[in-house]
Structure 1
């Protein structure tokens, strides 16, 4: 296992162990930033996550949300905001958030841990 993987996995484990019930994502983001992660790019519905770190890039393959040929849901800004608000309030799990984001037409999102912002994207360039 590379140093990049070891550092990333250790930071993720620490963040998951210590995260608060509400506001878990900002806590996770700060733990990852302090561990040297600058960016995290998620691809939905495959649940592939690319981390750019000071120790090297790491890809993690999660359990896909769906398989086979799929129609991509239209981008629905209001549904995405609803999913974000529920997650921020601690009312949903991360897997539920990912499903809700996909159902809102999100095909990709990028977490910029340096600038502290997240950009959600639909397949037609919506953000």
Structure 2
């Protein structure tokens, strides 16, 4: 509809159409910039920025994405963290690809571990 109006004005007065198009372009560019900044600051839905990640227990761990290796016990060690595949590659079985959580992630008990993605290796007991 806006394009049709601009064409109609262009037929009548090309100078006026140029001015209208310039102003409309500037307004749309400012709106796009504002939406981009809002999205980057977590205003959009469904990104890692909007996911609630909470670790409330003693020695608890929560992550909005994948966890490679975690050890929460005294002298405990977790196995090696899996390595991500080359860009665009497919991971080997048991080797997660980084992906953000799609909902809240909560580790609420002592030494609890929660992840929005995959967990590679965890040790929560004392060694």
TM-score for the superposition, normalised by structure 1? 0.23
Higher relative contact order (CA 8 A, sep 6+): 2
TM-score for the superposition, normalised by structure 2? 0.23
More helix by proportion, 1 or 2?
A: 1
Q: Which has the larger radius of gyration?
A: 2
